[in-house]
Amino acid sequence: MSKDTYDAIVVGAGHNGLTAASYMAKAGLKVLVLEKNEYIGGAAVSRELYPGWKYSNCSYVCSLLRPEIMRDLELYKYGLQIIPYEGSATMMKNGDYYANYHDHDMTVKAISRHSVHDAEAYDRYSRDVMRQCKIIKPLLKMTPPDLTSFKPKDIFGALEFAKYFAAKDELGGLGEKEIYDTIRFYTMSIRDYLEEYFESDIVKAHLSGSAIIGTALGPCSPGSAYVLLHHYMGEVDGAIGSWGYARGGMGSITQAMSECFKSHGGVIQASSEVTNVIVKNGRAIGVATKSGDEFYAKKIVSNLDVKRTFLKITNESDLEPEFVKRVKNFKIRGSSGKLNIALEGLPTFPSIPKDDPGGGGDMHFTETIEEMEGAYDDWKRGKWSEFPYVDMCIPSKSDPTMAAPGKHFMSVFIQYVPFDLADGGWNEKKKQEFGKHIINRISEYSPDFKDLIAHYEIRTPKDIHDEVGLTEGNIFQGELTMDQLMFNRPITGYAQYRAPIKDLYMCSSSTHPGGGVMGAPGANAAREILNDMNIKQKGNYY
């Protein structure tokens, strides 16, 4: 039985765990990271599941990762390079297509092919969404205040939080009107929101995709407009809303983080599943692993989602029943699946002209919001969507390291796949059926696609739940709805990264500001821990 003691132990080597660990190690703490899988990275991994191909088999594109974190952790030094991509496209059954480009003029021109009105409305739409991105950006870095507390620190925190909506900020002060707009944006459905700007189905369908990825909301559900923001607020070098690939797959993000962590003396131990948080006298003092090892530390930080943290590795007896009930009622619904495909060549998509930059990024084939909502209805009924919203991309088009020259890796994200099927759970046969269905759907838009497949991996929410450890396979580690955002995330009253047990912290995407490969929850949690230890911090993030 090992009796090593550390300053901090982080449970789970996902990107938020590694971010928190790196910040702590950089501040001089002795930190141990424990990971249940034999590989690290959580949902940001590059894995060679088929010889010669690297798979970003969970998360697949990068934009939300805060640049301040990349800078503080010097991730470039450890090999991280983000490759922006040029556009995105939705293919249509009639052989036409719709595309958005990096270049504004091209986008406007492309829209005007479908609707001149919408092309003009796009300017106003971009401005309004951009305004929301600017409003939320500073909030990402903040610890949500406890609104019920009368401590000066929390009252100031609340004021600070409110300040960004009211006083002088990056936008030079918001007026009454902008605040009303913000309230509306946070509470509306993406359908209602887009209908205030656009008339063309294809334009609305293309733009609303970002509002449903990963959530258990449909485009008609109020609150889905905010989810759109969650995909827009990222940036690649100041270009807000643009996306890119991590060179070498998403794993290179967590690899770079772990190298940074190690270079500051951190220790990572893989294949060590934490089974229990050891609590003594109301304080978390260590963790026990499956193999029977025990590790002790001053601070225990869980990068597991809030359900796993409190229902699985914490003894219920150490928690208030009311809190346990809240955790049990935390909404974390798997709604997405994935297909990861090794291709012998580049499939052609006849509806997108060859070399059109629109085909360089994500590709879709959902033509109307109704179709998307219908896909959601299937999910609600406990079935995978017959006409799902898919987000396909081929990172190897821009990234030479994913596959051998001429070979390609394709990532297909599928929105709406339930964690549990109404007809009695997932099994291998149903999983294969699901995979085949998606491949057939894609083949309708790419005749040579099937013949190029060398290998593919099907990931249902169940698989993600089991292997990666995201409860129910929810990619955000908890729904992004108003009842679980900001000071409500993960549990109202516990939004300051501290668990109800002393010295136990949370740093996963279950905490503010939520999911996506953003790193902000990890960095925010590290800040709170270091504050509690009275350790001075430097860096661009703070």
Partner 1 sequence: MSKIYDVIIIGGGHNALVCANILSKKNKKVLICEARDECGGLLTNQLTNFIPGLHKNVTSSIDAISTNLRSIKSIALSETGQHLKLSGNKNEDQKTLEGFSAEDADNFLALEKKLSLFSKTLGAFMQSSPPRIMTNSFSDNFKIFKLGLNVRLFGKKNFNEFARMIGLNVADELEDNFKNPLLQGLIAHDSITGSNLGPRSPGTLINLLYRMATYDNSIFGGIKQNEGGVISIIKALENNIIKRGVEIRKSTAVKKCIIKNDRVEGVELDNGELIEAKTVISSADPKSTYFCLLGTEHLDTDFKRKVKHYRAKGRVAKLSLKLKKIPEFKGLDQSDLSQRLVVAPSIDYIEENFNFSKFENLSKDPILEISIPSIYDNSLCDEDMHVMNVQIQYAPYDVRGGWENKSAECINSVLSTIEKYAPDIKACVERQEFISPNDIEKDFNVSGGHWHHGEIQIDQLFMLRPIPGAAQYKTPLHGFYMCGAGTHPGGGMTGIPGKNAANTVLKDL
Partner 2 sequence: MNKDLREEALKLTPFHSRTSLACRTNTWYRWAGYTVVAEYSTTELEYTATRNGTSVMDLTPMYKYDIKGERAKQFMNYLVTRDLSKMKDNTVAYVIWCNEDGKVVDDGTVFCMNQNEFKLCCAVRMLTWLKDSAEGFEVDIKEVTDETAALSVQGPTSCSTLKNYGASDVETLKPFEMKKYSIDGYEVLVSRTGFTGDLGYELWTDPKNAEAMWDSLMEAGKHLKIRPMGMYGLEMVRIEAGFIQTGTDFVSSEHALRPVRMRSPYEIGMGWLVHLNKEDYFVGKRTLIKEKENSTTERVLVGLDIDGDKPAHGAVVYNKKKEDIGIVTAAIWSPTLKRNIAIASLKRPYGVKIKEDIFVEIYHPEELEYRKIWATCKVVKRQFYTPERRNAVPAEVY
By three-state DSSP, how is residue 62 classified? strand
Distance CA 489, CA 297 (A): 26
Token pair, residue 318, equals 């150490």
Greatest C-alpha distance within the chain? 71
The correct pick among 105, 176, 237, 423 for binding partner 1 (CB under 8 A) is 176
For residue 411, what is the enclosing H or E element? strand 408-415
3-state SS, residue 400: coil
- Please list every residue from 461 through 490 that binds partner 2, using CB under 8 A: none
Q: Is 270 in the site for partner 1 (CB under 8 A)?
A: no
Binding partner of 353, given partner 1, partner 2, none, CB within 5-8 angstroms per partner class: partner 2
The continuous run of DSSP H or E covering 284 comes out as strand 283-289
Q: Which of 28, 265, 345, 350 binds partner 2 (CB under 8 A)?
A: 350
C-alpha closest to that of 348 among 387, 398, 394, 388: 394
- Contacts (CB under 8 A) with partner 2, residues 91-130: 95-97, 99, 101, 103, 105-106, 108-110, 113, 116-117, 119-121, 123-124, 127, 130
- Cβ–Cβ under 8 Å, residues 50 and 257: no
Interaction between residue 187 and partner 1 (CB under 8 A): yes
Instruction: Between 74 and 120, name the residue whose CB sits nearer to partner 2.
Output: 120
68 versus 377: smaller Cβ distance to partner 1: 377
Nearer to partner 2, 131 or 383 (CB): 131
In the beta sheet, which residues pair with residue 428? none
220: phi then psi, degrees, rounded to nearest 5: -95, -5
Please name every residue paired with 99 in a beta bridge, in sequence order, or none if there are none: 89
Segment interacting with partner 1, rule: CB under 8 A, options 67-75, 177-185, 201-209, 336-344: 177-185
Q: Which of residues 325-364 bind partner 1 (CB under 8 A)?
A: 329, 331
DSSP 282: T
Given the complex with partner 1, which of 28 and 173 has the nearer CB atom? Answer: 173
Q: What is the DSSP string of 71-136?
A: HHTTGGGGT--EEE--EEEEE-TTS-EEEEESSHHHHHHHHHHH-HHHHHHHHHHHHHHHHHHHHH
The residues facing 504 across adjacent strands are 300
Give the one residue of 103, 123, 170, 196 binding partner 1; rule: CB under 8 A: 196
In this complex, which beta carbon is closest to partner 2, that of residue 95 or of residue 238?
A: 95
55 near 330, Cβ under 8 Å? no
Annotate 330-363 with DSSP letters as a single string. Answer: ------EEEEEEEESSPPP-TTSPTT-GGGGS-E
Structure letter (DSSP) for residue 287: E
Nearest CA to 249 out of 456, 101, 400 is that of 400
Quick note: the x/- pattern for partner 2 over 269-308, rule CB under 8 A, is ----------------------------------------
Site string for partner 1, 138-167 (x = CB under 8 A): ---------xx-----------------x-
Q: How far is the CB of 373 from partner 1 (least distance, A)?
A: 6
CA distance 536 to 530: 7
417 and 337 in contact (C-beta within 8 Å)?
yes
Instruction: Kindly tell me which of 103 and 483 has the beta carbon lying closer to partner 2.
Output: 103
Q: Which H/E stretch holds residue 2?
A: none
- Residues that contact partner 1, how many (by CB under 8 A): 39
Residues 367-406 within binding reach of partner 1 (CB under 8 A)? 370, 373-374, 377, 380
User: Is there binding between residue 174 and partner 2 (CB under 8 A)?
Assistant: yes
Question: What is the full DSSP assignment across 435-487?
Answer: HHHHHHHHHTT-TTTGGGEEEEEEE-HHHIIIII--GGG-TTSS--SGGGSGG
Choose the one of partner 1, partner 2, none that binds residue 123, judging by a C-beta under 5 to 8 angstroms depending on kind: partner 2
Give the single-character DSSP code of 491: S
CB of 399 vs partner 1, minimal distance in Å:
37
Closest CA to 416 of 368, 372, 370, 478: 372
Coil vs helix vs strand at 492: coil
Query: Quick one: 118 or 373, whose CB is closer to partner 2?
Result: 118
Residue 383 near residue 422 (C-beta atoms within 8 A): yes
In the list partner 1, partner 2, none, the entry touching 167 (Cβ below 5 to 8 angstroms by class) is none
User: What residue 131 binds from partner 2, partner 1, none (CB within 5 to 8 A, per partner kind)?
Assistant: partner 2
Binds partner 2 (CB under 8 A): choice among 49, 167, 171, 482 = 171
**Token pair 């990234």 is at which residue?**
399
State which of positions 466-525 bind partner 1 (CB under 8 A): 481-485, 487-488, 492-493
Which string of DSSP letters, residue by residue, matches 208-277?
A: HGGGTTTSS--TTSTTHHHHHHHHHS-EETTEET--EEETT-THHHHHHHHHHHHHTT-EEE-S--EEEE
One residue of 173, 282, 382, 425 binding partner 2 per CB under 8 A: 173
Considering only 125-133, 171-179, 230-238, 291-299, which stretch makes contact with partner 1 by CB under 8 A?
171-179
Closer residue to partner 1 (CB): 152 or 405? 152
195 or 444: CB nearest partner 1: 195
From the list partner 2, partner 1, none, partner contacted by residue 180 (C-beta under 5 to 8 A by kind): partner 1
Q: Which is nearer to partner 2, 379 or 449 (CB)?
A: 449
Interface pick for partner 1 out of 67, 79, 138, 222 (rule CB under 8 A): 222
> Which residues of the chain form contacts with partner 2 (CB under 8 A)?
95-97, 99, 101, 103, 105-106, 108-110, 113, 116-117, 119-121, 123-124, 127, 130-131, 134, 171-175, 177-178, 350-356, 358
Residues engaged in binding partner 1 (CB under 8 A): 147-148, 166, 175-177, 179-181, 183-184, 187-189, 192, 195-196, 217, 220-223, 322, 329, 331, 370, 373-374, 377, 380, 481-485, 487-488, 492-493
